[in-house]
């Protein structure tokens, strides 16, 4: 049980690459913090600094109120699940899970009890005598989880643990990781590039971009109030529609609410669009004409890919749709669902 505190943490690699450029995050006890961002933005680097696998170039990392900058990974009492699982190939599943306990001098019968209890939780009992190469991808993932859980560490670290699984398994494991983390109440840091994983898992969501924190907060707050166009287009699928404003005006707009002075970009989510809404006035929201370029029926919903307002937008409609390619439609978005961004990309 521990808090994790990062204060202005930086990482400059030997080659001169500045991978993390001053990140401050305070993770409360028992919370699941998700770092999300595009590939190469420094998520893994940050996680590896918390683990002690990379030195911290500047700033401090504290676990449970104690600065750990100078403490190696061996003494930090953390557990990590790697993207490739990093199971010891020459050891049976049992020994993979027991390894960390043995290194810490846990008595033999205690080890046995804990390994078996963990194996039961993760439904791994029948696999204990197998070697990693005799397991499927999903089973390996569970063993990697088991190896982390069995030690009962202060902090769990996950580096894209689900990215090697197929979509269905990924969904199952996501739910399972969340409920396990809740049950065990261990402070966790979870790295992913998948915004859906990030949204569903996080207590604290950290959106990173190019070595910096772009936005930090509760997932739904970030979804509802993205701090920048980067966050707006990264969180949510399909991403938010962003259209350029020229002198406070939008091309093709039929009605447009008053734009705050310096906004150069207007945004609205595909799921906040309504088709039609005739008779709406500018005080109700945005209405603009769109030409349908493509229709994607998914079953439960359909996506209309349109050209409008001098750009491309996506519109979500529930269920089936009668709309055809080439149709001209009025699209309506409520005023409270509109987002405005300045020329620096920040929310105004």
Ligand X SMILES: Nc1ncnc2c1ncn2[C@@H]1O[C@H](COP(=O)(O)OP(=O)(O)O)[C@@H](O)[C@H]1O
Distance CA 174, CA 162 (A): 8
Range 17-76, binding ligand X (CB under 6 A)? 17, 19, 37, 39-45
Residue 41: contacted member of other proteins, ligand X, Mg ion, none (CB under 5 to 8 Å, by partner type): ligand X
* 100 interacts with other proteins by CB under 8 A: yes
Would you say 191 or 250 has its CB closer to other proteins? 191
* 136 interacts with other proteins by CB under 8 A: no
Q: Which member of 131, 193, 316, 335 binds other proteins (CB under 8 A)?
A: 131
User: Nearest to ligand X by Cβ — which residue?
Assistant: 44
Report the b/e string of 10-43 with b at 16+ CB within 10 A.
bbeeeeeeebbbbbebebeebbbbbbbbeeebbb
Would you say 46 or 127 has its CB closer to ligand X? 46
Q: Is residue 152 classed as helix, strand or coil in its secondary structure? A: coil
* 88 interacts with ligand X by CB under 6 A: no
* 163 interacts with other proteins by CB under 8 A: no
Question: H helices of the chain, where?
Answer: 43-51, 93-103, 108-121, 137-150, 167-184, 195-201, 219-224, 229-234
List all residues 6 or more positions away from 107 whose beta carbon is below 8 Å from its beta carbon.
none
Residue 17: contacted member of Mg ion, other proteins, ligand X, none (CB under 5 to 8 Å, by partner type): ligand X
Distance CA 247, CA 330 (A): 23
Check: CB of residue 191 under 8 Å from CB of residue 160. Answer: yes
Check: CB of residue 285 under 8 Å from CB of residue 335. Answer: yes
Q: Which member of 43, 147, 154, 287 binds other proteins (CB under 8 A)?
A: 147
Range 252-311, binding other proteins (CB under 8 A)? none
Would you say 44 or 228 has its CB closer to ligand X? 44
* 79 interacts with other proteins by CB under 8 A: yes
* 71 interacts with other proteins by CB under 8 A: no
* 302 interacts with ligand X by CB under 6 A: no
CB of 33 to other proteins, least distance (A): 18
Taking phi first (over 0 means left), then psi (-120 to 50 degrees means alpha), and beta for anything else, what does residue 16 get?
left
């Amino acid at each position: 049980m521990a808090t994790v505190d990062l204060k202005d943490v930086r990482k400059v690699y030997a080659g001169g690459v500045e991978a993390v450029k001053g990140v401050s995050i305070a993770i409360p006890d028992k919370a699941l913090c998700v770092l999300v961002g595009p590939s190469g933005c420094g998520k893994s680097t940050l996680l590896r600094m918390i683990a002690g696998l990379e030195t911290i170039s500047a700033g401090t990392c504290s676990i449970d109120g104690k600065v750990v900058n100078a403490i190696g990974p061996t003494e930090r009492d953390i557990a990590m699940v790697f993207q490739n699982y990093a199971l010891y190939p020459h050891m049976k599943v049992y020994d993979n899970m027991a390894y960390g306990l043995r290194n810490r001098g846990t008595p033999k019968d205690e080890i046995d009890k804990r390994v078996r209890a963990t194996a039961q939780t993760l439904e791994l009992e029948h696999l204990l005598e197998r070697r990693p190469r005799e397991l499927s991808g999903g089973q390996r993932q569970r063993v990697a989880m088991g190896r982390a859980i069995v030690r009962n560490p202060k902090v769990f670290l996950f580096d894209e643990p689900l990215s090697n699984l197929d979509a269905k398994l990924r969904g199952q494991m996501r739910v399972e990781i969340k409920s396990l983390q809740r049950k065990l109440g261990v402070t966790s840091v979870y790295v992913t590039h998948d915004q859906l994983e990030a949204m569903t898992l996080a207590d604290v969501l950290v959106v990173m971009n190019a070595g910096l924190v772009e936005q930090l907060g509760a997932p739904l707050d970030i979804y509802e109030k993205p701090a920048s166009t980067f966050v707006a287009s990264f969180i949510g699928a399909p991403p938010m529609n962003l259209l350029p404003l020229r002198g406070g005006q939008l091309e093709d707009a039929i009605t447009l609410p008053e734009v705050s002075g310096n906004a150069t970009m207007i945004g609205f989510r595909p799921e906040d669009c309504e088709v039609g809404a005739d008779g709406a006035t500018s005080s109700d929201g945005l209405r603009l004409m769109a030409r349908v370029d493509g229709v994607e029926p998914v079953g439960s919903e359909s996506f209309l890919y349109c050209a409008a307002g001098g750009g491309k937008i996506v519109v979500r409609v529930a269920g089936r749709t009668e709309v055809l390619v080439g149709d001209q439609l009025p699209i309506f978005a409520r005023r409270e669902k509109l987002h405005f961004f300045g020329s620096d990309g920040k929310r105004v």
